[in-house]
Chain A
């Protein structure tokens, strides 16, 4: 009996040690699934760590949830892609500074036979309108993420209210939405990075890209010291400034999948 108790105590101690083994300098970064799923962080975080000794722990969620995490003071830094939302976040006093970091672009994916014929479209507005007109199945994230918000803006630009059986709101992350779209041969809008890194395309193909309205700007935010004094603002500042520094921008440009650059640094 005593022996058992000792064993249990030893086990608990070991577990406790295992959990505290990460006590070094780190910040928690709330970011989006697109950056995580594409492998960008795997590529640039080691470089940042080499430069500063700081670990960045990435919590990859939808942009809406990332804002919420930052608003509650649960992350030290924020890297998202919803410029309008980011500016509101600063106006509301949750962040003190916003900086452009990089962009990639959104692409329209669809079944290879392209029933709505969007590969012929001249503009994003035309392509979206064609999908609506053909009432071809379209898989939407439907999760208030940055991609979802951008998609809704693009429908608006096309003068279409996406509605009806053909428009499926999935409430899922980018990868899951791509999986579902592949399974039901639907059109879907994705960020290019996730699409290029995606390994289960089945019958899906990139059909339309390149319109400027489909550029996807990422911004880094410095969170308010006033609202959340407990955060690691010093470390977060180093991260923020590294991202927009020459080194950081170069690291972003150097990240390639299959020889293809996925994010384009554009800090000012």
Chain B
């Protein structure tokens, strides 16, 4: 019975295991903050690429789309070399802290948010363009209008970004170091328990992670549906 992963997951949750809750809280903090920062940067970036025509625009789109598939461990390595004492931002002393994990996840999530929001905004712009020009709107003025009107599509994009951030292990392992009580998150804890051969616990943690991600998706879905019904 105690070798059953579902049983382990359930007892982890029901016993209010303090270290588990700390790990879950850190996972959420890191990934949510990373997605928030990536959204603040990525949505305007995506909208800007949709709105403006400039030389090299095609290349930018290709690069953004390709970076959506950036392997987490490569993002982790880049951020590691950047934040390492021997690297350009070594002075910040961020390596092996949650801050470094946030940065690495921003690197992973930003291309997803930018590339997908570029697509959504461009679709919407096709529909709105004549009306916008008729209203005398500049491109800069179109940006907030488009981002707000695309809010339901962007919520889905946000969830895709959160999914990637909370599921990846390579980047946070490399720049966080999986330090007990400091930078250990769900995914790195799963790797550690797998390494110890404690497969039921590893899978139990996986089930907890999955449950969490599902809850967040469900909450976002409900929120989206409610506001959609209210504001169209």
Q: Which residues of A contact B (CB under 8 A)?
A: 8, 11-12, 15, 18-19, 22, 28, 33, 36-37, 41-42, 57-61, 72-74, 173-176, 178-179, 182, 197-201, 228, 230
Contact = CB atoms under 8 A, between A and B. Distances in A.
Interface stretch (B83-91, B161-169, B209-217): B83-91
A198 B197 contact: yes
Given A19-B99, A72-B87, 8 more contacts: A8-B36, A18-B98, A37-B195, A57-B177, A58-B177, A175-B194, A175-B196, A179-B199
A58 B182 CA distance: 10
B108 interface: no
Contact of A37 (B86, B95, B192): B192
A73 B97 contact: no
Interface string B158-199: 000000000000000000011110100000000010111111
Given A15-B29, A22-B182, A230 B85 contact: yes
A57 B96 contact: yes
Interface of B: 25-26, 29, 32-33, 36, 84-87, 90, 93, 95-99, 177-180, 182, 192, 194-199
Contacts of B179: 28, 57-59
A18 B181 CA distance: 12
Contacts of A18: 25-26, 29, 98
Given A22-B182, A57-B179, A230-B85, A15 B33 contact: yes
B37 to A, nearest CB: 9
B185 to A, nearest CB: 13
Contacts, number: 83
A72 B26 CA distance: 27
A173 B178 CA distance: 14
B98 A175 contact: no
A12 B29 CA distance: 9
A228 B197 contact: no
B31 to A, nearest CB: 11
Contacts of A230: 85, 93
B97 A199 contact: no
Contacts of A60: 177-178
Nearest to B33: A15
B97 A19 contact: yes
B96 A179 contact: no
Given A57-B182, A58-B180, A175-B194, A200 B199 contact: yes
A60 B96 CA distance: 11
A176 B86 contact: no
A72 B196 contact: no
Contact of A73 (B32, B90, B194, B199): B90
Contacts of A57: 96, 177, 179-180, 182
A72 B178 CA distance: 19
Given A73-B90, A200-B199, A176 B182 contact: no
B178 A59 contact: yes
A57 B177 CA distance: 9
Nearest to A230: B85
A164 to B, nearest CB: 27
B96 A59 contact: yes
B195 A33 contact: yes
List the 7 closest pairs (A to B, CB-CB), nearest first. Answer: A175-B195, A73-B85, A200-B197, A59-B177, A198-B197, A72-B86, A199-B197
B29 A74 contact: no
Most buried by A among B25, B96, B177: B177
B197 A178 contact: yes
A260 B194 CA distance: 22
A81 B21 CA distance: 34
Contacts of A33: 195
